[in-house]
Structure 1
């Protein structure tokens, strides 16, 4: 098999084409460098929190301590207290509202907050005393919350771990119950009809010689277990806000019966078993994404999770508060360094828990946040897709006319066109038919790979 070179790639054109926010103003930088606002805080520096993130991360939003508690679990989850640093109506507040989210590129990030804050004073770095918002949740054996508290506190993380380190066996006290909790929680989500599409993602990473390569990466068990901690916290936040009749939910309407039936109808042709009475989530969880037919099925099943958005509400509850992926009402509250909406939802929960009025600056912002976050999320998706498209085109630019092994992941036009997934490199691209059949394997010939247009196109060999 021919080895691909690891080319140098300039991602600057993507920044220019899609547009990036201007540099932070001196006023915003000054606010970010200022000391956090004084607040009454519980001292939780004796709790041995740890963080678990991708290798090399510096913007650490979360630190956890999750241990057995009788037959159940005790979770303490510290979230960076970004609101302590951002003055409502100030320069930093205005500029983060214009950004919405942190944008990630292979050669660097475009942060939501200045690095002095997101990778410094507000980040839950190890052995640093930090202001945080701490969720304390006692759970039954089936991961049902029994008691939920949220408070401002000071914390000190003991250790910064990466997912590979946890996979390799790192088990400090704080992670004693992570695997058991994550397993039980995942089952609970399936029981109530949630759908977790754990599909491997294309990622661009640097090689040892300074070039770039494309890899297909699935979540590790440690990542899936850790994600369940965040999802649980988001559910607790949503329940708290719904009880109070004010807040900001992350919503996704359940798929209609016709949509479910359409996905069910393609399962037999792709060799996917759909037992009588099984929910879509159960079927999705049973599928091997590494199998071409499984990948094709998951591509179809992804249509069941369309229509997500943010739903604010004041003085009542929304008509549709549900998130179909989670199988329950849900809110974003665990990544405020990287996602704007989390700061506002967290402040609602703090006020509700304290029996205090929700701050006026939060209430005034809630109605406009769906538009802000929709634009920011769309931009993040555009950057991600452009980076992968460019990398695919550069990797294949010198291989026009070569043949590759591939699997068909979707079809259109009665099999006259579709999308194929190459075995190596892990490229997904358009392919001309005829006779394409979802889930089938075939040889394809590279017809076009243009880094300028970032277009890659194949035909049947």
Structure 2
């Protein structure tokens, strides 16, 4: 395709030309031409100077030189009007359809022959303007027009649609967001759920309304940068929030003010992508039904083969616990050397019975990674039909279990440990207060013997350097309607002996199974804390000052496949298996042991198990933030509701400009400026404090006043 000749040398005073400015064609009259430089008069009577290379590749008509400026203006106006009329009749998309596949680029004259038999200069100019405006289909590469291929056109059209949609949403939504923020600032109550818009900011378009909802919810979930649709929503948000203050959780506050999200909405769940409740399991009914059917088949087979274990196991849990994953039996035993000791059998729920690893349900459960227990309720790792139903060790029902069998000597030292697969029937599910009452009255010989063994186990662990933190556990309870919730905090009724019994048996099971697996060559996921602790860190610590001192010495446990020491527990190896209904790490370890006992080989080799650690560790950290920070949120709500009341505290760290206070009854810590405490401040000093600014949403807690307690 030959290029059109350059205009230089064909122009003279009186010629009509067009040039491009701000992506628009402007008509002009040549007043003077010299060596490729032009002095032009535009339709708006403005003189401009530019090189002829700036002209568009069409010119004419040519008029005699010497016309007055008024005459020039009239002629340019008439030409402009005519060219706009012709341009309105041109459909560049039809022209693109005709040109597709014919050529990749062409001059304006070639395109004009597709529309007219004898196109004149007005037709050329009008067509050129139309093609310049159709940027999605053509690209002006002087002096020709490049014809975009179909895939590029679709990409450009999609981008244009997105830009137009964004403009519509932003124009409508900005005023609404400003009005909502004004409600937040002024302390007005949130709009009722289902509110469409506000009187001062109407949203007539349903699609725009839905888009605004999506934008806010995506920001609450922190999904920006996740790619695809979330990136598009992030662009909306960047435009919508202009002129609004840069404050934490702005989108959440707007959504709550609008009534889209309730007060006290748990945004941490959204950020972690953790579906609350059990509604998520509806997508897996087929897989769950298959589990139930397989369970019945295997239960019938176990009964036929006489595989039911007659051991009278009992469990101890909170009265509200529905996902019961451990039970125990303790009895006297004669050891191989003829001495007397203990038999301790710990039955662990076995949800891995017929699990489809790698299936849809498994991937979802792995993504949930752990159950959550929050003041507003529980979120279970497994579907409730399985976790709190089918596999929960409820009394009087035959359930599959992994039984960890231990023989221990009279001092509580482990003589032997071996796991076995079984079906068990729990004799009793006992609540902590009831178990404690029985222990206090010494009315249950089995529980009394179990307590005696648990005390020996603790003594042996302390001998090996264990760190035991014993502090009150505050119970956070919520009362009232969502818009008027009251928080109540009470110290949980203590059941020290029953709690000691359960905790020591769980440590025994996890340590014992870890050592057995190491000797048998079964790779497991271990919790390790391979650090050296000074002798002063060993013991049972109850005083807030001592607890703060010891906690500083501890490092967070690591997840790894190599069995190493867990310093705080005083275990040479520690692999959690005792909560397979609640934690996916325990679930995987259970599957490793089950497969080895059934076939002689673990389900995953060492490399396969290690490959899971990065994903599991990251997900545990992400979901664990919810369990860590959400109870603290409610504690701060409680403090806000009791803002004018004094609270007892203890100075646990006086180092630096901001000493640390502990509130033992609430298990909170707060820092304050040193000058608030005076010159006599010292670790262990009892303090009474009043709080100033409290913002549960931003985790802000500031002390207004502090004085030494009487």
Normalised by the size of structure 2, how large is the TM-score?
0.54
Partner of residue 120 from structure 1, selected from 389, 396, 399: 389
Of residues 123-132 and 26-35 in structure 1, the stretch that sits farther from structure 2 once superposed is 26-35
Q: What residue in structure 2 maps to residue 340 of structure 1?
A: 584
Q: What residue in structure 1 maps to residue 669 of structure 2?
A: 428
Q: What residue in structure 2 maps to residue 358 of structure 1?
A: 602
Partner of residue 443 from structure 1, selected from 679, 688, 696: 688
Aligned mates of 2:370, 2:695 — CA distance in 1: 30
Aligned mates of 1:298, 1:369 — CA distance in 2: 34
Q: What residue in structure 2 maps to residue 264 of structure 1?
A: none
Deviation at 1:306, TM superposition (A): 0.9
Aligned mates of 1:31, 1:74 — CA distance in 2: 37
- Secondary structure, in 3 states, of the residue corresponding to 1:204? strand
Per the alignment, do residues 255 and 79 of structure 1 end up closer, same or farther by CA in structure 2, a change over 3 Å counting?
A: same
Aligned mates of 2:665, 2:447 — CA distance in 1: 36
Aligned mates of 2:665, 2:405 — CA distance in 1: 46
Gaps in structure 2 of 5+ consecutive residues: 1-261, 335-339
Provide, for residues 244-270 of structure 1, a one-character-per-residue CA deviation record: whole Å limited to 9, x for no partner: 33322433334346xx4xxxxxxxxxx
Provide, for residues 79-108 of structure 1, a one-character-per-residue CA deviation record: whole Å limited to 9, x for no partner: 111111421222221111111111111222
Aligned mates of 2:270, 2:357 — CA distance in 1: 31
Q: What does 1:10-89 correspond to in 2, within 5 Å?
A: 10=264, 12-21=266-275, 23-24=280-281, 25-26=283-284, 27-36=286-295, 38=298, 43-70=307-334, 71-89=340-358
Deviation at 1:199, TM superposition (A): 3.1
Asked if structure 2 preserves the Cα contact closer than 8 Å seen for 1:248 and 1:366, the reply is yes
Deviation at 1:45, TM superposition (A): 4.1
Aligned mates of 1:304, 1:213 — CA distance in 2: 33
Provide, for residues 223-279 of structure 1, a one-character-per-residue CA deviation record: whole Å limited to 9, x for no partner: 11211111111121111121133322433334346xx4xxxxxxxxxxxxxxxxx55
Q: What residue in structure 2 maps to residue 295 of structure 1?
A: 544
Number of residue pairs matched by the alignment: 418
Aligned mates of 1:255, 1:417 — CA distance in 2: 28
Of residues 73-82 and 38-47 in structure 1, the stretch that sits farther from structure 2 once superposed is 38-47
Q: What residue in structure 1 maps to residue 518 of structure 2?
A: 242
Aligned mates of 1:109, 1:408 — CA distance in 2: 34
Asked if structure 2 preserves the Cα contact closer than 8 Å seen for 1:432 and 1:459, the reply is no
Deviation at 1:455, TM superposition (A): 2.2
Partner of residue 183 from structure 1, selected from 452, 455, 467: 455
Deviation at 1:116, TM superposition (A): 0.2
Aligned mates of 2:624, 2:608 — CA distance in 1: 24
Aligned mates of 1:427, 1:251 — CA distance in 2: 26
Of residues 66-75 and 175-184 in structure 1, the stretch that sits farther from structure 2 once superposed is 66-75
Instruction: Flag the structure with more relative contact order, 1 or 2, with Cα contacts below 8 A and sequence separation at least 6.
Output: 1
Aligned mates of 1:428, 1:42 — CA distance in 2: 55
Of residues 52-61 and 296-305 in structure 1, the stretch that sits farther from structure 2 once superposed is 296-305
Deviation at 1:420, TM superposition (A): 2.1
Aligned mates of 2:547, 2:410 — CA distance in 1: 31
Asked if structure 1 preserves the Cα contact closer than 8 Å seen for 2:693 and 2:702, the reply is yes
Provide, for residues 322-359 of structure 1, a one-character-per-residue CA deviation record: whole Å limited to 9, x for no partner: 11122121111111000111222233334555671212
- Secondary structure, in 3 states, of the residue corresponding to 2:423? strand
Aligned mates of 1:423, 1:45 — CA distance in 2: 45
Aligned mates of 1:365, 1:157 — CA distance in 2: 35
Q: What does 1:300-311 correspond to in 2, within 5 Å?
A: 300-311=549-560
Q: What residue in structure 2 maps to residue 4 of structure 1?
A: none
Of residues 70-79 and 198-207 in structure 1, the stretch that sits farther from structure 2 once superposed is 198-207
Q: What does 1:273-422 correspond to in 2, within 5 Å?
A: 278=535, 280-282=537-539, 285=540, 287=541, 289=542, 294-312=543-561, 318=562, 321-328=564-571, 329-352=573-596, 356-360=600-604, 365-400=608-643, 402-413=645-656, 416-422=657-663
Deviation at 1:388, TM superposition (A): 2.6
Q: Which of these two proteins has the greater Rg computed from alpha carbons?
A: 2
Aligned mates of 1:105, 1:380 — CA distance in 2: 12
Per the alignment, do residues 79 and 398 of structure 1 end up closer, same or farther by CA in structure 2, a change over 3 Å counting?
A: closer
Aligned mates of 2:584, 2:637 — CA distance in 1: 34
Deviation at 1:173, TM superposition (A): 5.9
Aligned mates of 1:402, 1:57 — CA distance in 2: 34
Deviation at 1:110, TM superposition (A): 1.5
Gaps in structure 1 of 5+ consecutive residues: 1-7, 261-277, 313-317
Per the alignment, do residues 351 and 14 of structure 1 end up closer, same or farther by CA in structure 2, a change over 3 Å counting?
A: closer
Aligned mates of 2:608, 2:649 — CA distance in 1: 48
Provide, for residues 10-41 of structure 1, a one-character-per-residue CA deviation record: whole Å limited to 9, x for no partner: 45444345542482332544445443274867
Of residues 115-124 and 437-446 in structure 1, the stretch that sits farther from structure 2 once superposed is 437-446
Q: What does 1:129-140 correspond to in 2, within 5 Å?
A: 129-140=398-409
Provide, for residues 148-169 of structure 1, a one-character-per-residue CA deviation record: whole Å limited to 9, x for no partner: 2322111111111011111111
Q: What does 1:201-220 correspond to in 2, within 5 Å?
A: 201-206=473-478, 211-217=486-492, 220=496
Asked if structure 2 preserves the Cα contact closer than 8 Å seen for 1:166 and 1:222, the reply is yes
Aligned mates of 1:404, 1:221 — CA distance in 2: 30
Aligned mates of 1:238, 1:45 — CA distance in 2: 23
Q: What residue in structure 1 maps to residue 176 of structure 2?
A: none
Asked if structure 2 preserves the Cα contact closer than 8 Å seen for 1:408 and 1:418, the reply is yes
Q: What does 1:156-171 correspond to in 2, within 5 Å?
A: 156-169=425-438
Aligned mates of 2:643, 2:470 — CA distance in 1: 32
CA RMSD, Structure 1 to Structure 2 (Å): 3.0
Of residues 341-350 and 398-407 in structure 1, the stretch that sits farther from structure 2 once superposed is 398-407
Q: What residue in structure 2 maps to residue 198 of structure 1?
A: 470
